[in-house]
Structure 1
Amino acid sequence: MAVDNLLAKMTLEEQVALLSGADFWTTVPVPRLKIPKIKVTDGPNGARGAGSLVGGVKSACFPCAISIGSSFDPALARAIGKALAEEAKSKSARVLLAPTVNIHRSGLNGRNFECYSEDPHLTSEMAVGYIEGVQGEGIAATIKHFVGNESEIERFTMSSDIGERALRELYLPPFEAAVKRAGARAIMSSYNRLNGTFTSEHQWLLTQVLRVEWGFDGIVMSDWFGSHSTVASVAAGLDLEMPGPTRDRGEKLVAAVKNGEIDAARIAESAHRILDLIRWTGAFTDVEMRAEVAEDRPEHRALIRRAGAEGTVLLKNNGILPLNKNDTGTIAVLGPNAAEARIMGGGSAQINAHYSVAPLEGIRKALAGSNAIFHVKGVANNRLVKLYRGPVHIEYFNSTDLSGAAVHAEDIDLSERFWMDPISKTFNINAFSARVVFTYTPEADGVHVFGLVSAGRSRLKVGSQQVIENWDNWKRGANYFTAGNDEVRKGVTLEAGVPVQIVAEFRSPIAGDGGLHLNAIRIGVELPLGEAEFEEALKKAQTCDVAIVFAGREGEWDTEGNDLPDLRLPGRQDEFIARVAAVNPKTIVVLQTGGPVEMPWIDNVAAVLQSWYPGQEAGNAIADVLFGFAEPGGRLPQTFPLTLEDNSAITGDPAVYPGKDGHVEYREGVFVGYRHHDTRKIKTLFPFGHGLSYTTFSWGRPKISAEAIGKDGLKVTLNITNTGKRAGADVVQLYVRPLAPKVERPDKELRAFRKIRLAAGEAKQIDLCITLRDLCRFDEEARCFIADAGEYEAVIAASAEDIRHTCRFRLDEDWKLSVGG
């Protein structure tokens, strides 16, 4: 289909129609000209399709981005991208809303788990691999969030105030690589403002940088409800307002053109790009939008399991790992994440996974037939009251007070419902009510806690008693992307084995509720753990040969919409780990978090594994590493500080974090993560790039290809030998250090890396390249990148702190690169 010819046949109204979504997930078709609609889908670790954030058609759940970043393996990212493109096709989607490449400015960002790294080079390499994998299958990737979305606090309005040097050196490079190297077809603007202007209407960002300097020819779409204007956003270069139906475009934009507020040629440019995206995805020749299906592919299962192990980081090991499956003795499997499969973070990254494997299940499979595994939970780590899982009946009313006859009913298997689209063509998603009913049978006597969260108004009855009133007293809080209230809790005494009917009533939000217009309800019920289970777990740890504590967080903590309160493990987990270690010297801690945590017990445990959120094969992947069926292939993509206060964004000044008066100031500039710790000589808990192996490696002395770097760059060559008794992988990292910088610069910066897999006794030569761009800093006055003449070191390291060799070289004269170079 010739896009130019098609565009010429379109009326202004039809062109404008293309610039907004039709609904939550599709673009607007133009039947007269046989222009089809296309579907987009979240997200980074799975293709959810058009279903709810909870429930819906099942999909494969892959490891989260920080786990993929930990692999230091762009080829793995490429394989995952390819598989996710296949998943997108199963949902009849042509655009995948991923990857997320914002930088880990701190460990508190609620979406830290969705992003690859604190380092722009590592982020860029992983993103390029991922995008190539996705787009190689004809699915368009959407790199996000452009730019400065490093926190979830006041995310819809906060201005990220970032100097141009930090933007050019840290925050923009992954997007630049995605455009120039991977040919990304779409970019999503962020919610926040950048230096005072919403990114969705930021002329400098969307036109000057993206299109003029980088040559981007794809589409720019808003984050959902993230556009705020009719003329300014279009003029700045925002092509697509999402979701639909339109709020600020449509008739308003047609009128703006006719009134001379914006040129019709600008509308045509954006419409042309939308048409070109439709053409690129093949939708003109394959117009059918098929029903979404769940495709549980064996090859995807295998890839997820392998990727989970590749991203697992062995932080500490006193020789206890790997465990010998034939001689483990008795094992106490403890902690809140042992029997719960923590496979993903929260927010828009959620999907309805085909299945999930908990670590306890994975261990039992690994030790099939063993009677030596004992499980006690001991402590809890959930932020919200536990969901009820079982039959739930919902009745719907086309009124806001449950009046009239029910117009629809459905049965689901979870006490949470998130409504994105109308349940029928006659149903008003903005003015409805619902009654949610299920029967709960307690397993033990005691005071059970009920929790109620809603985006919209709600109330809860337990039996005949109204327990929670969240209707007239509803207040917007931290849940459901800040469109829901803070959880309201109430204790009710229940008797074991005696069923009780639970009834929740819901109505859609009313004017003045603020935030996004979302509809959701969540009903939790649980009998809280007491001291008896804590003590029972300690006794089991004391009597067993090995204690494995599965600790960390889950998707209610690591989630879009909220930042974390601190870097401590929630609840009593730190105390629990310390007390388990005190009674069992063979204590192994397996952490599942979306970022760094403090570890006050680190000196007293035998081993620590960081397993992040590794997808639906979580328990199998973790067991593979614990028992040595797979190597712990990960290296930290983010610095683990000793304490939160060691982070460069945590200064005690709220203007720097979390923000003040609508602005958050990135005063640390380029000194983020290891750049901060290295340069300021601040001790870490575990440095960037750190990760241990089950085998040993010998690194030969590197050779550098020349004493002076020229236009073709330099090459550093060295030999790596596996000196151990088993196969394994090592990651060689190359940092560049200016020896006499003319301005303040980080001590060193990652410029190349290589993951190398070797059999026992095997040796290989690897090459690492340095370019002139790798020497550069950004000069705000000259508005260009400058490599200063002088002496440099190529630092060959196993982590930011584990330096193995250095090679000196020089640049004989200053070298400059324009921003469009």
Structure 2
Amino acid sequence: MIDDLLDRMTLEEQVSLLAGADFWTTVAVERLGIPEIKVTDGPNGARGGGSLVGGVRSACFPAAIGLGASWNPDLVREMGVALAEEAKTKSARVLLAPTVNIHRSGLNGRNFECYSEDPMLTSALAVAYIDGVQSQGIAATIKHFVANDSEVERQTMSSDLDERTLREIYLPPFEAAVKKAGVFAIMSSYNRLNGIWTSEHHWLLTKLLREEWGYDGIVMSDWFGSHTTEASVTGGLDLEMPGPTRDRGEKLVAAVREGRVPAETVKAAARRILLLLERVGAFVDATMEDEKAADRPEHRALIRKLGADGMVLLKNDGILPLDKSALDRIAVLGPNAAEPRVMGGGSAQINAHYKVSPLEGIQNALSGTNRVVHLKACRNNRLTQMIRGDVEVEFFHGRDWSGPVVQRASAEESQFFWLDMPDASLDPRNFSARISTRLRAEETGSHVFGLTNAGFAMLYVDDELLVDGETGWAKGDNFFGLGNTEVRVEKPLEAGRTYDIRVDYRAMSESYEGIEIRAVRFGAEFPTTDAAIAEAVEQARTCDVAILVVGREGEWDTEGLDLPDMRLPGRQEELIEKVAAVNPRTVVVLQTGGPVEMPWLDKVSAVIQAWYPGQEAGNAIADVLFGDAEPGGRLPQTFPQRLTDNAAITGDPKTYPGQDGHVVYAEGLAVGYRHHDADGAKPLFPFGYGLSYTRFEWSAPRASSLDMGKDGVAIEIDVTNTGDRAGAELVQLYVKPKSSRLPRPVKELKAFAKLAIPAGETSTARLSITIRDLAYFDPQARAWIAEPGDYELVIAANAEDIRATLPLRLAEEWREGVSAPPLPAVVS
């Protein structure tokens, strides 16, 4: 059928398939019955079309780093099935996920969206995720291809690295997605690879991906991430997103007519689009229904289970799990206690069905509130606190708020992101909006008002202009780097008084750097005071236990912005130290999208790393705190003692964050635990680390052979739960070469098994490796090579906790050649 359609299509119709129709849909060819399909973000939920904020509600699953911490492919596969079901409620056929970029620096704003620092763990989880999604007839889209490991100048930065590093660290998840999972779609990244945009990188998209790996699916651009007509099409980019087209359409038709782009190249790309439509069943059922919210009990239960399974118990002096019956008074403190921090920011955010805060979860677990004392104590938000309540918006033609109101809308908080216009008659470059709400002051004193906008905006309090978001406007660090840096102004308010807040927004008359983003966010807050912290400390002093829920939130862990450091923002470290000084039973619950420094670690009784665990966050946290669930997670990323212990943070801006448009991956293979093994810098918590509420004993490992053959080697380890409660244990298998012609990491993860073991019972971890697991990539030989000689199989609970070793011998050299030519050198 596909070939018949292609033969009947005009050149113009074939070209029309190679760009989106709008922000979320592809182009239909009605003459031939070729339907449109919708795509949707994202990794932790199916948002559907429309705005990045608000919109139809969806189930919010844990962020990817929490899935990485679960080390549980079976559960991730189950989540993939659920996400496919969610995508169908939004009439979407393509899910723009998973994100599999590697944790390189610890500062990446999208660290939370990615699974791990290790390519093997990332690959295993990506394959499971894709299997789950695509088993339901929904296409997965693995992203971002490739080396998109920072958000600093992400739309222009060149990631410069050698081919061996690329193939051994950054490409394996994509290779596994193609060869093992048969992924239907791949999204190119914003950055350049060795000076060439990945969206038009012929070596990457054609020589490697299609010719060497045999990939037959589509490659789409990240949104506004393609730049050319000829180079992108001939390079191997099939679909320019979003639509309407910028560089294809008539430009591409002319390029074909003039012989600059071969007609067969266009036809092949159009064929891959048609194949995608066929794979997701669009030719059989082209129905595009209205989006709907489907709050399913089974999804709620899965999200809660996933949340607990990814939580990592980093420290426990015996205080956890808490005994509900032995607690008369509990202090639940900190900026994340009553705020449900369920997800990171950027394109991963969705409008969750509901959000359970840790405070609510703890109250639910204790069947009431009479034993719980709560104080926020301090703040950790990067931007001023949004105003929540009834927020009304009026839209106007033109940029001066004149004429009749074209459309009215309402929202629950003071943030708006217009990808598509709320009314089709509105011109995205020639409209204005008036936003109105009210603010009741809870404290008397100076409040901070903040405003950030992509476009221009003015904020008024009781009709008095307070914040000017237009004069001197310049691109800053918000809205994917296309909004200004937040403008802040202080104003005294009186407690109990209600103030009228108005923001007048108008669109820019031109696109900025070719990207169309229209957004505004405003807020107001009373700053943290010494008295607020002192009150929290005093309450903690009188309680049986103090639970501090601290960390970051989606304005820090977000697309478009890297972190400034690995410290807890605001006065949180001070709060932890002061509370721990008066209450020895202090438990810290961390919510971050990656590692943090912990100068306070020795002063607290327990630490749980909870990440961003989705809409059931508070219930999952309470489950772990009170022992209704095992803290099943183990770290998917090394937590260094200090930022400078990271291999990418050298003090040389060329290695991070980049200089003159280039970031050099000078550390090569030394990412995460590989760096710590080689450097000797002791981490705060090693890769794979995590404690349990029970105890385990491991048997000596048994190998099917100590000589590597063509069928590989299988290893078994019996693990017995010697405690009095069920628990989860992780068994890791690393390969350690005894010698090598080329420098190699000390050891590399090649297999793992996550075991759930009832009290008093024994389970068997079954691990296997192949000859390829012994190999490294030799760029000169153009081959993967496993050298003959001696290796060591390292059986470990984490990268530093080695339980046993086994010798392994390879009698003869093994090679597997590659067909792609060498990776092009860096182009300045």
Residues 512, 256 of structure 1: alpha-carbon distance in 2 compared, 3 angstrom cutoff: closer
1: CA distance, partners of 2:506 / 2:596: 39
Aligned to 1:553: 552
Aligned to 2:695: 696
Aligned to 1:362: 361
Whether the 8 Å CA contact 1:482–1:515 is kept in 2: the answer is: no
Aligned to 2:470: 471
* Displacement after TM superposition at 1:34 (Å): 1.0
Amino acid of the residue matched to residue 322 of structure 2? L
Aligned to 1:779: 778
Residues 257, 515 of structure 1: alpha-carbon distance in 2 compared, 3 angstrom cutoff: closer
Aligned to 2:824: none
The two structures have a TM-score, normalised by structure 2, of 0.98
1: CA distance, partners of 2:84 / 2:289: 16
Aligned to 1:132: 131
1:107 aligns with 2:102: no
1:412 aligns with 2:401: no
Deviations 1:559-602 (A, max 9, x none): 00000000000011111111111111111000000000000011
2: CA distance, partners of 1:593 / 1:374: 24
* Displacement after TM superposition at 1:413 (Å): 1.9
Aligned to 2:679: 680
TM alignment of 1:467-616, pairs within 5 A: 467-511=466-510, 513-514=512-513, 516-616=515-615
Aligned to 1:650: 649
TM alignment of 1:215-234, pairs within 5 A: 215-234=214-233
Aligned to 2:826: none
TM alignment of 1:333-482, pairs within 5 A: 333-369=332-368, 371-482=370-481
Give 3-state SS (helix, strand or coil) of 2:437's partner. Answer: strand
1: CA distance, partners of 2:517 / 2:362: 40
1: CA distance, partners of 2:514 / 2:376: 37
TM alignment of 1:144-159, pairs within 5 A: 144-159=143-158
1:13 aligns with 2:9: no
Aligned to 2:823: none
1: CA distance, partners of 2:243 / 2:429: 14
1:671 aligns with 2:659: no
1:306 aligns with 2:289: no
Give 3-state SS (helix, strand or coil) of 2:804's partner. Answer: strand
TM alignment of 1:22-41, pairs within 5 A: 22-41=21-40
Whether the 8 Å CA contact 1:709–1:772 is kept in 2: the answer is: yes
1: CA distance, partners of 2:381 / 2:539: 23
* Displacement after TM superposition at 1:370 (Å): 5.5
* Displacement after TM superposition at 1:706 (Å): 1.5
Residues 513, 473 of structure 1: alpha-carbon distance in 2 compared, 3 angstrom cutoff: farther
Aligned to 1:632: 631
1: CA distance, partners of 2:23 / 2:89: 18
Give 3-state SS (helix, strand or coil) of 2:388's partner. Answer: coil
Aligned to 2:744: 745
* Displacement after TM superposition at 1:669 (Å): 0.4
1:206 aligns with 2:205: yes
TM alignment of 1:287-306, pairs within 5 A: 287-306=286-305
* Displacement after TM superposition at 1:52 (Å): 0.9
1: CA distance, partners of 2:93 / 2:545: 49
Choose 776-785 or 394-403, whichever is displaced more.
Answer: 394-403
Choose 370-379 or 597-606, whichever is displaced more.
Answer: 370-379
Deviations 1:25-82 (A, max 9, x none): 0000011111110000000000000021110000000000000010000001100100
1:277 aligns with 2:279: no
Stretches of structure 2 that go unaligned for 5 or more consecutive residues are 821-828
Choose 280-289 or 120-129, whichever is displaced more.
Answer: 280-289
Aligned to 1:731: 730
Give 3-state SS (helix, strand or coil) of 1:757's partner. Answer: strand
Whether the 8 Å CA contact 2:429–2:510 is kept in 1: the answer is: no
Deviations 1:149-183 (A, max 9, x none): 00000000100001100111000000000000000
Whether the 8 Å CA contact 2:157–2:662 is kept in 1: the answer is: yes
Give 3-state SS (helix, strand or coil) of 1:206's partner. Answer: helix
Deviations 1:472-516 (A, max 9, x none): 321110000011010001111112222221111111124485473
2: CA distance, partners of 1:670 / 1:464: 58
Give 3-state SS (helix, strand or coil) of 1:391's partner. Answer: strand
Aligned to 2:168: 169
1: CA distance, partners of 2:573 / 2:425: 52
Aligned to 2:140: 141
* Displacement after TM superposition at 1:368 (Å): 0.7
Aligned to 1:262: 261
Aligned to 1:803: 802
Amino acid of the residue matched to residue 219 of structure 1? I
* Displacement after TM superposition at 1:523 (Å): 1.2
Aligned to 1:190: 189
Deviations 1:110-136 (A, max 9, x none): 000000000000000000000000000
Amino acid of the residue matched to residue 15 of structure 1? Q
Give 3-state SS (helix, strand or coil) of 2:210's partner. Answer: helix
1: CA distance, partners of 2:791 / 2:229: 50
1: CA distance, partners of 2:663 / 2:812: 38
Whether the 8 Å CA contact 1:110–1:564 is kept in 2: the answer is: yes
Aligned to 1:817: 816
1:754 aligns with 2:753: yes
* Displacement after TM superposition at 1:400 (Å): 1.4
2: CA distance, partners of 1:186 / 1:651: 36
2: CA distance, partners of 1:722 / 1:512: 61
Give 3-state SS (helix, strand or coil) of 1:461's partner. Answer: strand
Whether the 8 Å CA contact 2:639–2:686 is kept in 1: the answer is: yes
Amino acid of the residue matched to residue 413 of structure 1? E
Deviations 1:78-107 (A, max 9, x none): 001000000000000000000000000011
Aligned-residue sequence identity (percent) comes to 63
2: CA distance, partners of 1:200 / 1:457: 31
Whether the 8 Å CA contact 1:648–1:671 is kept in 2: the answer is: yes
* Displacement after TM superposition at 1:470 (Å): 1.3
* Displacement after TM superposition at 1:328 (Å): 2.3
* Displacement after TM superposition at 1:775 (Å): 0.6
Aligned to 2:94: 95
2: CA distance, partners of 1:376 / 1:443: 14
The two structures have a TM-score, normalised by structure 1, of 0.99
Aligned to 1:715: 714
2: CA distance, partners of 1:227 / 1:760: 55
Amino acid of the residue matched to residue 411 of structure 2? I
Whether the 8 Å CA contact 1:200–1:227 is kept in 2: the answer is: yes
TM alignment of 1:112-123, pairs within 5 A: 112-123=111-122
Give 3-state SS (helix, strand or coil) of 2:324's partner. Answer: coil
Give 3-state SS (helix, strand or coil) of 1:7's partner. Answer: helix
Give 3-state SS (helix, strand or coil) of 1:54's partner. Answer: coil
Whether the 8 Å CA contact 1:45–1:61 is kept in 2: the answer is: yes
2: CA distance, partners of 1:632 / 1:411: 40
2: CA distance, partners of 1:469 / 1:362: 40
Amino acid of the residue matched to residue 132 of structure 1? D
1: CA distance, partners of 2:767 / 2:331: 45
Stretches of structure 1 that go unaligned for 5 or more consecutive residues are none
* Displacement after TM superposition at 1:369 (Å): 3.4
